[in-house]
Amino acid sequence: MRRLLPVLLAACSLWTLAANGTELRIGMAADVTSMDPHFLNIAPNTNISWHVFDALTHVDEDARLIPGLALSWRAVNATTWEFKLRRGVKFHDGSEFTAEDAVFSIERTQKVPNGQFQIYTQRIVGKQIVDKYTLRLRTATPDAMVPYDLDSVFIVSKKAAANAGSADFDSGKAMIGTGPFRFVRFARGDRVELARNDDYWDGKPAWDKVVFRIVPTDPARLAGLLSGELDAIEQIPTADLPRIRRDPRLATAQKVSWRTIFFHLDQYRDRPPSLTDNSGRPLERNPFRDIRVRQAISKSINRQAIVDRLMDGAALPASNLVSPPVFGHAPDLKPEPYDPEGARKLLAEAGFPNGFAMTLAAPNNRYVNDDQIAQAVAQMLAHIGIRARVELLPMNAYLPKARKREFAFAMLGWGSFSGDLALRSLVATANPAQGFGAWNWSGYANARVDELLEHGFATVDAKQREAIARDAMRMAMRDYAVIPLHHQFATWAMKKSLSYKPRTDEFTFAHHFRPQ
């Protein structure tokens, strides 16, 4: 009897181990609102989509484009791209992935009501299925960015998602993809559960089961990791970084994110909203049109202090609109040195010796410490005589107002895998037909920068394109088209027994977590 007991115990423990399998529990920093991969283009939703679906092109940890469901692609002529698709890829229901599913997915992005993925496919005017594994896409004008845009188009199963609405994805009916995990359950506001796809074309993930727990409250998410409820979390609250790094039970991973925090300054109106002199009367001219004022503002910001005291070291002062590993980053540009004396002199030279007053607008729930950064910048502007009133809004309220140009001084955070793409959206003269300047709230218009960008987009050779992109970046930054602040870091914390290859695009991929 005495010998039987240990055997029984061992058997029980083995059994429970086997029954549990390997499970990974991850704490997410933002709320997942929908499982529909073509509806809302917000990071938490796309994060989940990347687990269940694939796209034709993928992006590696350094934000460089790599093959996904498309093995290779080439420009057949100036307006046509041909994609050779991967063979033998199976959807989670066993059916085979073919060009038809790709075309269906591209078309679905146009059909979802209020869908935010239309911008990635609206330039594709012709789709031709050459054969089961070859697809040709035609654009109206030469567009070198089609493969980049397709990285945002998730491929769903034509069979499973025919006539599917967002509710069908939430319930799981249409959640059939080719990705590393199968969909199990979505409990809104609480968790997303996934199970391993043993037949994944890019290698079997290390985890049987993955649970994404939704914990947007920073302290709660961290507490979950410390108590052992979670195995890993994304976005470590910056105040806790030093402590977490010292904790022997935890491992951390971090990387400069592609997200650059910067400020748009209204340069196109004579009387931008909220700009007044110190007694409240509207100014006679727009100070932001004077490059000396823009430079003064840039000089007044102590970027290193923000990085050290606000971000606890989890940011990099910025000189470009894209971070260092990204295509098109000009390494010779340096962040503006902190010089409040010089800033005051410049302001006086420009005709504003007593400064002026304005409203600084920023979101308060989107970027790391965005509300605190806004207040810190307002504080620094106050030191050189510019009295800034801080207006913070949740992102959903902030964006529509900002797009309607209601703010003269507005914060934005931009993540791009290409410097020229960033410039195209943020700094190029607004041209909706071309898709230029869609996010150019400042109204900055520099024909030379536009020329360079157009030239670059028509250039298929990557090296040439990068040189042109760098030139354009130098031109825009030296002209203070916008005022870059810093590149935030993407951070992850996990149990000591795990490791994660940090990603520039800030995504948290369960299949990239490996046991040590």
Partner 1 sequence: MILRGIAAEFAKSRIALAGLALIALILFVALFAPLISPQNPYDLAQLDLLDSRLPPGSHSTAGGTFWLGTDDQGRDMLSAIFYGLRTSLAVGVASTVFALAIGVSLGLAAAWFGGWVDALIARLADLQLSFPSILIALVLLAVLGQGIEKIIVALVAVQWAYYARTARAAALVERRKEYIEAATALALSNTRILFRHLLPNCLPPIIVIAAVQIAAAITLEATLSFLGLGLPVTEPSLGLLISNGFTYLLSGHYWISVFPGIALLLAVVSINLVADQLRDVLDPQGRR
Partner 2 sequence: MFAYIVRRLLQSTVVLAVMSLAVFAGVYAIGNPVDILINPQAGQQEIARATAALGLDKPLAEQYFVFLRHAAAGDLGNSFAFNVPAIGLILERMPATLELATAAMLIAMILGIPLGLWAGLKPGSAAGKSIMAGSILGFSLPTFWVGLMLIMVFSVYFGWLPSAGRGPTANFLGMQLSFLSLEGWRHLILPAANLALFNLSLIVRLARAGTREAMRQDYVRFARAKGLTEIHVVGVHVLKNVLIPIVTVMGLEFGSVIAFAVVTESIFAWPGMGKLLLDSINLLDRPVIVAYLCIVVTLFVLINFAVDVICSWLDPRMRLVDSQA
208, with CB counted inside 10 A (0-12, 13-18, 19+), is: middle
CA distance 161 to 177: 10
Q: Rule CB under 8 A: is residue 219 a binding residue for partner 2?
A: yes
Token pair belonging to 157: 């199963």
Q: Report the SS3 class of residue 74.
A: strand
For the window 97-136, what string marks contact with partner 2 as x by the rule CB under 8 A? ----------------xx-x--------------------
* Window contacting partner 2 (CB under 8 A); options: 375-383, 392-400, 459-467, 482-490: 392-400
Which one, 411 or 452, has the nearer CB to partner 1?
411
Residue from 22, 31, 198, 219 that binds partner 1 (CB under 8 A)? 219
* Window contacting partner 1 (CB under 8 A); options: 94-102, 172-180, 385-393, 506-514: 385-393
* Window contacting partner 1 (CB under 8 A); options: 6-14, 141-149, 376-384, 413-421: 376-384
* Nearest distance in Å: CB 235, partner 2: 15
> What is the full DSSP assignment across 92-151?
TTSPBP-HHHHHHHHHHHHHSTT-S-HHHHTTEEEEEEEETTEEEEEESS--TTHHHHHT
Q: Rule CB under 8 A: is residue 204 a binding residue for partner 1?
A: no
Give the HSE-up count for residue 48: Cα atoms under 13 Å, Cβ half-sphere.
Answer: 37
CA distance 32 to 92: 22
Q: Which does 114 bind (CB under 5 to 8 A by kind): partner 1, partner 2, none?
A: partner 2
Q: Rule CB under 8 A: is residue 229 a binding residue for partner 2?
A: yes
Which one, 95 or 365, has the nearer CB to partner 1?
365
CA distance 82 to 46: 26
Alpha-carbon radius of gyration of the chain: 25
Enumerate residues 277-336 that contact partner 1 by CB under 8 A: 302, 305-306, 309-310
* Window contacting partner 1 (CB under 8 A); options: 41-49, 368-376, 399-407, 457-465: 368-376
* Window contacting partner 2 (CB under 8 A); options: 26-34, 271-279, 281-289, 310-318: 26-34
Strands 357-363 and 409-415: parallel
Bridge partners of 306? none
Enumerate residues 242-271 that contact partner 1 by CB under 8 A: 243
For the window 160-199, what string marks contact with partner 1 as x by the rule CB under 8 A? ----------------------------------------
Residue from 88, 189, 203, 432 that binds partner 2 (CB under 8 A)? 189
Q: Cβ(68)–Cβ(130) under 8 Å?
A: no
Closest by alpha carbon to 152, among 123, 194, 109?
109
Q: Cβ(280)–Cβ(502) under 8 Å?
A: no
Residue from 49, 152, 166, 295 that binds partner 2 (CB under 8 A)? 166
Which CA distances in Å does 21 have to 209, 225, 284, 510? 8, 20, 70, 15
Closest by alpha carbon to 83, among 30, 155, 10?
155
Residue from 383, 403, 496, 514 that binds partner 1 (CB under 8 A)? 383
What residues line the site for partner 1 (CB under 8 A)? 218-219, 222-223, 237, 239-240, 243, 302, 305-306, 309-310, 364, 371-372, 375-376, 378-383, 387-392
What residues line the site for partner 2 (CB under 8 A)? 31, 33-34, 36, 39-40, 113-114, 116, 165-167, 170, 187-190, 213, 215-217, 219-221, 223-224, 227, 229, 365, 394, 396-397, 399-400
